[in-house]
Structure 1
Amino acid sequence: MASNLPTSIGVLTSGGDAQGMNAAVRAVVRSALHQGAAVHAIFEGYQGMVDGGDRIRSLSWDDVGSILHRGGTVIGTARCPAFREREGRRRAARNLLQRGIDRLVIIGGDGSLTGANLFRQEWPELLTELVQAGEIDEATAQAHPALMIAGLVGSIDNDMVGTDMTIGADSALHRIIEAIDALTSTAASHQRSFVVEVMGRHCGYLALTSAIAGGTDYVLIPEYPPAEGWEDRMCELLRHGRAAGRRDSIVVVAEGATDRAGNRIGGDYIRRILEERLGEDTRVTILGHVQRGGTPSAYDRWMSTLVGHAAVQELLAATPDSEPQLIGVRYNRVRRLPLMQCVEQTRAIARTIAEKDYAKAVELRGGSFTEMTKTFRAMAEALPSVTPPVRPRRIAVLHGGGLAPGMNTAARAAVRLGRDRGHVMLGVHGSFAGLVDGRIKELTWGDVEGWTALGGAELGASRQIPTTEQLYAVARSLETHDIDALLVIGGWKAYQALHRLDSERERYPAFKIPMVCLPATIDNNLPGSDLSIGADTALNVIVEALDRIKQSAMAARRCFVVEVMGRHCGYLAMMSGLAGGAERIYLPEEGITLKDLQADVERMVESFRGGRRLYLTIRNEQANALYTTDFLARLFEEEGGQLFDVRQAVLGHIQQGGNPSPFDRILATRLAAHGIDFLTTELERGTAVGVFMGLAEGKLTAFPIKQMADMVDITNRRPLEQWWLDLRSVMQAMAQPTLADSSGSI
């Protein structure tokens, strides 16, 4: 009965809900339809598979329109005791076969994925039983001899080995940081302490990263229980913070945190310790399920879209002998690994913690988790050196280029870690012009307090770089202020300025000092780094604006042309198109031709005639010098006639504003820590290399500034290699159905 049906894929969400699940479901549905496969949603998880009937429904292109921005899962999730029994799995197999489904995308945690693998292993036996019972015929059994599965991890805890990030973790981190930022302001008003308890029974990712991004004082995670006497150490750190001028104290604790004896450490216990030993007025905030709720972040939308698309590609290429794969991400690229290997390694971490091998548990979480653990401890314990060196080294920090959210975070981390190393940290106000004018001031621990969450740039930012005539003044200023090293945080202009100083070392000996440039620009157009400080924040601002634009447009039949920043780099346009559900994007890397526009107009008109209510296009500001945003809007308006109207929105400088996102805070802290380590090493060695730093494919790397010209397209001011350009095929699959059964709502 099912052998004549086209390839059919089922998709379900199981276990706890997580923001971004809807983006993954949408990607699975649209990718399957784009490839000519049928796709069914299985509502209420495994319970829907067991119940069958209308809980397994065929989906069209439009059925998953307008769900990207929604939290939770629109196809539901539920516990299913019946599926744990063989009879329940037999019923599930029958219900799937009635619709020709022998390929499944499971979006859930390790329990859901383990259940799917057991189902797959039993599949041949279940089919034999169904044939013997007369519930399916032999032809159906022969047409579907195996069940092929692909797993996507939906879990806000980010607790699965095999993927850098699980669906929902970034959004949960956003919720936590919003709460910590809010608590910080009220705590500072009353000089009060707060204990914030976050989710994470066996994984401390949310607690650790929120502590770094929130600039908190202390954190407790399951993988690294504190040593005996930790209460004294915690109180000492908080006491030092208050002595240095801090008005608030915040401790973050994961729900699964314990001491080394295995005793749970709860928020209320920490509260009592702080009140008794410090006399602090302390409150406990348990965030609970609010961490799972709300609109998914930009990252959870585009990342979930990537893995959903890849899961369909995996299943369509699978054979009955194929091993089930977990589809995750590694360094922003899709990664496939054997499913059960990842599940077993994940469970091994919990066993390792139970065995009290904590160093191994942290190691099993991966290199970045280990690094962040060390970084937080360094940041939390960074205090002005009690016995400074006889001749402290003087490191100047300044910004260059346009404003990028996260610049303050990087400066704060650099100052705290630098002073902890015994350096004198100097803040240069007004970028390189401030360096020329001598607007230089020593920064103390208290001077940068509160900068972690602060947007803008307290030291100021400018795109002006030293001219040839100003180089002497720069050199004189470095000598006058005894500056031993330079840490520059900025964009393209900052890189150019550092390159100029480095190339003039023979003429100006004052430039023969260690110099580091950290990438900070919303354009994400710098070499040597997959992402720049500020780009994630800008992307979230754009996606939030797109959500509002789409809501406003649904009351009419309308096309929107939205212009985003990026200069000659289309990163923001591409990623906001994926995360925001755009129909068409215009990139400077591709340009715009008259032939393109003709095809776009024809597609647009046809889709509105088919019932479309909204058509969203995103144009990079430099996509084409002549085919401007205004031109496109007028063209579409003219060709649309009475069928639809057109509006344009130039988002402008709101993309540079706002407080930095959690990701940008973490990236800024990691880069600043690496920068201070590099400068400290150079000063100790007596060497003076000029470098720019970046995070590429998971590695923090320093590149000699002399290599810059070999890594960039100078004319267009962008890297020669841009990883995100490979996502264009995913964007096309999400935006353009190949089957003529849809009006294609986004």
Structure 2
Amino acid sequence: MMARIGVMTSGGDAQGMNAAVRAIVRSGIHSGAEVFAIKEGWAGAIAGQDHIVQLGWSDVSGILNKGGTVIGTARSLEFMTREGQLQAVANLIANGIDRLIVIGGDGSLTGSRQLCLSWSDYVEQLLSEGRITSDQAAAHPALHIAGIVGSIDNDMVGTDMTIGTDSALHRITEAIDAISSTAESHRRTFIIEVMGRRCGYLALMSAIAGGADYTFLPESPPRDGWEERMIDVLARGRAAGRRDSIIMVAEGAADRSGQPITATTIAQVLRERAGEEARITILGHVQRGGTPSAYDRWMATACGVEAVRRVLEAEPGSEPVLVGVHRDAVHTTPLVQAVEDTHRIAGLVADAEYQAAVEARGHGFTTMIDVYRMLIEAEPSVRPTPGARRIAIMHAGALAPGMNQLARVAVRSGLDRGYTMLAVRGGVPGLIAGDVDEVTWSDVEGMANTGGAAFGTRRFVPAESDLYQMARTIEQHNIDALLVMGGFHAYATVDMMERERRRYQAFDIPIALLPASIDNNLPGWPMAVGADTALNTVVDSIDMVRMSASASKRAFVVETMGRQCGFLPLVGGIAGGAEKAYLPETGLSLAELSTDVEALVDAFESGRTFYLAVMGEEASEHYTSDVVAKLFEAEGRGLYSVRQAVIGHVQQGGTPSPFDRINATRLAYQAVVNLDGQLKTGRSDYVAASSAAPTLLAPLRTVTDAMDWDNQRPHEQWWLRLRSVFDQLSRRPGQE
């Protein structure tokens, strides 16, 4: 008998659940299994009958960009009883299902694991009561479960991110950006309450991404006297020229005696102690709504494909697993360990073990709390002491969203450590021309949520004849350390400086190099600052293209940027639901195009009304997007029309995504910490961002040795592992 997989969404909904469902259905079919949707979660498993339905390939078409869950979800009290679980087992066995993928929170996953452990007892009882046959009992001796966390709170240990978290951060930061405008106009304080009953991830990360002034987290209750400290921080910001104040509070925040700290509590403190009438915004369920972000689509898709593999390959007696991500790669953890570690955090908070609770969330969470405290608690009017050492900041290469946040955090981190901070204007040409000036705390105010690069940047790699003047600028401006942020041109420039430092003594200073590029074509770091924003632009464009074709039978060939790197077309194609992705790494051939035309024609003859191919701008010198579009149309013979869509430079513009703002914050802070350490110990190392290094920075040569300079991309690219995911979900000729 063909293997049968059940998929359900349980508990609260989260954006991206539909992407996981789509991936599970199509990957299951691709693997030769039948896939059944269990509607309304465990309530549907108990109800049975039309709540358990088989899904085909086309049944999950068009759901990738929808929020919520199309198969429904519910919280079932009946499932907590033995009789409820017994009835669920009976209905699963009646439908031949003994492999289950549950998308939900820790409560749903905990209950699912318990059912798994009790399965054999329930089977024995059902057999003794005559509710199943002996053949059915023999055919389904065990239940194999894989869990995927769907929760906007990001509250599960065992995965870096849960489905829906990134989309919720998009909703929150959009609200902060909008509220900041009106708050600045009226010199007003706003208090924004976000979800996070036991986990402060949303409050912390949105405060960093939105440039908020203060935040309250469940894992890190404020010490006694927090009221005066908060008022002091807000007053210092106003004294430095800031017109607005934003305070973030998680719904589960409390003080160290367990008293809740709500938005109303904070407003009352401001009224009584500062004489200010703050405005309150409670975002509520809007955080769960709307279109899922690009990350939540491709991450949920990759997890769904892995979950299918896990349940199909599971052996009798194997432990249920949690499928999540770690450093942008799919990662699995024993389900019981993940649930127990998650529950332990609540116990640590109850026992006043606050630092342990923070550390239990992971190293990244702990680091970001430290970064945030630095950003809000430093004196905004601080001036370096006379004779302070000088750190210069320079962008280089093409524009990438998030460059301003890199500069903002670097400037404030440097000032906090007592350095004079300098800006090199206009990238490498500015360094050659000596266009360098001092920047202060207020010069970078409001840059957290702005696109572009206020310090300027250019695609420029210096010639050998430029090196002398670059060295002269460093000497004339007494630059003691340099922080360079940019793409391929930045890496090529710093690599040249490192090779020439023996000839030019001025280059013998500490230099840190950080990745900022929409192409995501740099070694050492998985997601360059700007890549996530560009990816969301690609996916948003695909959504609009799909909508434009809703009234006709049409194929689209969408061209992305990326030069010799296929990150945007492949990951954008996964998140956008493309049938085909053409990458520079693999190129195009006439034979491949012939097969693709066959699939395209078959799709429309089988009743499809839309077909999407995504290709990188340099996927082929000869088979350009224009050529491919014309070829597709010519072979269709009027069955469908074809349009070409070149997304273009909008991928470099726009407001940086929450991920890019957070990514920039972490990188810039660690770079300044590194430069500070070097200057204090008399070192002059060149370092670059590296996810493999404990401090996130490694020797430059270690990082750049991984660069394929001819093709302007790393020798190994992590995201190419997603190619197999894409291939499982793309349609082939004759596929229903």
In the superposition, the TM-score normalised over structure 2's length comes to 0.98
Conserved 8 A contact 2:449-2:655 = yes
**Aligned-pair distance for 1:709?**
4.9
Matches within 5 A, 1:91-490: 91-383=87-379, 388-490=384-486
Aligned residue identity for 2:682: G
| d(CA) in 2 for partners of 1:209, 1:384 | 21
**Counterpart secondary structure, 2:691:** strand
Conserved 8 A contact 2:383-2:415 = no
**Aligned-pair distance for 1:388?**
4.0
Where does residue 543 of structure 2 map in the other structure? 547
**Counterpart secondary structure, 1:695:** coil
Q: 2:502 aligned to 490, 500, 506, which one?
A: 506
| d(CA) in 1 for partners of 2:374, 2:432 | 33
Aligned residue identity for 2:107: G
**Counterpart secondary structure, 1:146:** coil
| d(CA) in 2 for partners of 1:613, 1:284 | 47
**Aligned-pair distance for 1:694?**
3.4
**Aligned-pair distance for 1:391?**
2.0
| d(CA) in 1 for partners of 2:540, 2:466 | 42
**Aligned-pair distance for 1:133?**
2.3
**Aligned-pair distance for 1:741?**
5.0
**Aligned-pair distance for 1:643?**
1.0
Where does residue 688 of structure 1 map in the other structure? 684
Residues 501-544 of structure 1 show CA distances to partners (whole Å, capped at 9, x for unaligned) of 22222222111111111100000001111110000000001101
Where does residue 728 of structure 2 map in the other structure? 733
Conserved 8 A contact 1:519-1:694 = no
Where does residue 594 of structure 2 map in the other structure? 598
Moved more, 76-85 or 578-587: 76-85
| d(CA) in 1 for partners of 2:303, 2:31 | 16
Q: Report the CA distance shift for 1:262/1:737 in structure 2 as closer, same or farther (over 3 A).
A: farther
| d(CA) in 1 for partners of 2:722, 2:347 | 38
Moved more, 478-487 or 707-716: 707-716
**Counterpart secondary structure, 1:572:** helix
**Counterpart secondary structure, 2:705:** helix
2:54 counterpart of 1:58: yes
Residues 662-692 of structure 1 show CA distances to partners (whole Å, capped at 9, x for unaligned) of 0000000100001101111111112211222
| d(CA) in 1 for partners of 2:515, 2:275 | 43
| d(CA) in 1 for partners of 2:416, 2:642 | 56
Runs (5+) with no aligned partner, structure 1: none
**Counterpart secondary structure, 1:276:** helix
Where does residue 671 of structure 1 map in the other structure? 667
Where does residue 69 of structure 2 map in the other structure? 73
Aligned residue identity for 1:301: R
In the superposition, the TM-score normalised over structure 1's length comes to 0.97
**Counterpart secondary structure, 1:226:** coil
Aligned residue identity for 2:673: D
Q: Report the CA distance shift for 1:49/1:325 in structure 2 as closer, same or farther (over 3 A).
A: same
Aligned residue identity for 1:725: L
Residues 586-613 of structure 1 show CA distances to partners (whole Å, capped at 9, x for unaligned) of 0111111111111111111111111111
| d(CA) in 2 for partners of 1:350, 1:709 | 43
Aligned residue identity for 2:114: L
Q: 1:706 aligned to 701, 705, 729, which one?
A: 701
| d(CA) in 2 for partners of 1:702, 1:269 | 42
Aligned residue identity for 1:619: M
Aligned residue identity for 1:32: G
The CA RMSD measured in Å over matched residues stands at 1.3
Conserved 8 A contact 2:382-2:416 = no
| d(CA) in 1 for partners of 2:674, 2:482 | 11
**Aligned-pair distance for 1:372?**
0.6
Where does residue 625 of structure 2 map in the other structure? 629
Report percent identity of matched pairs.
Answer: 55
**Counterpart secondary structure, 1:478:** helix
Where does residue 569 of structure 1 map in the other structure? 565
**Counterpart secondary structure, 2:122:** helix
Residues 412-455 of structure 1 show CA distances to partners (whole Å, capped at 9, x for unaligned) of 00001100100011111111212222222211111100000000
**Counterpart secondary structure, 1:101:** coil
Conserved 8 A contact 1:564-1:618 = yes
| d(CA) in 2 for partners of 1:431, 1:89 | 64
Moved more, 209-218 or 686-695: 686-695
Aligned residue identity for 1:133: E
**Aligned-pair distance for 1:651?**
0.3
| d(CA) in 2 for partners of 1:386, 1:44 | 56
Conserved 8 A contact 2:236-2:380 = no
Where does residue 654 of structure 2 map in the other structure? 658
Moved more, 364-373 or 73-82: 73-82
**Counterpart secondary structure, 1:233:** helix
Q: Report the CA distance shift for 1:70/1:624 in structure 2 as closer, same or farther (over 3 A).
A: same
Where does residue 44 of structure 2 map in the other structure? 48
**Aligned-pair distance for 1:708?**
5.2
Q: Report the CA distance shift for 1:384/1:509 in structure 2 as closer, same or farther (over 3 A).
A: farther
| d(CA) in 2 for partners of 1:235, 1:319 | 59
Where does residue 721 of structure 1 map in the other structure? 716
**Aligned-pair distance for 1:704?**
2.7
**Counterpart secondary structure, 2:559:** strand
Conserved 8 A contact 1:25-1:308 = yes
Where does residue 80 of structure 2 map in the other structure? 84
| d(CA) in 1 for partners of 2:732, 2:142 | 29
**Counterpart secondary structure, 1:399:** strand
| d(CA) in 2 for partners of 1:737, 1:94 | 36
Aligned residue identity for 1:93: V
Runs (5+) with no aligned partner, structure 2: none
**Aligned-pair distance for 1:191?**
0.6
**Counterpart secondary structure, 1:203:** coil
**Aligned-pair distance for 1:720?**
0.8
Conserved 8 A contact 2:240-2:381 = no
Aligned residue identity for 1:26: R
Aligned residue identity for 1:475: A
**Counterpart secondary structure, 2:482:** strand
Moved more, 300-309 or 677-686: 677-686
Conserved 8 A contact 1:427-1:443 = yes
Q: 1:39 aligned to 35, 38, 49, which one?
A: 35
**Counterpart secondary structure, 1:74:** coil
Conserved 8 A contact 2:164-2:288 = yes
| d(CA) in 1 for partners of 2:514, 2:33 | 46
Conserved 8 A contact 1:256-1:264 = yes
Conserved 8 A contact 1:61-1:737 = no
**Counterpart secondary structure, 1:441:** strand
Q: Report the CA distance shift for 1:468/1:613 in structure 2 as closer, same or farther (over 3 A).
A: same
Conserved 8 A contact 1:259-1:265 = yes
Residues 91-125 of structure 1 show CA distances to partners (whole Å, capped at 9, x for unaligned) of 11121112100111011111111111121122212
Conserved 8 A contact 1:384-1:422 = no
**Counterpart secondary structure, 1:112:** helix
**Counterpart secondary structure, 2:98:** strand
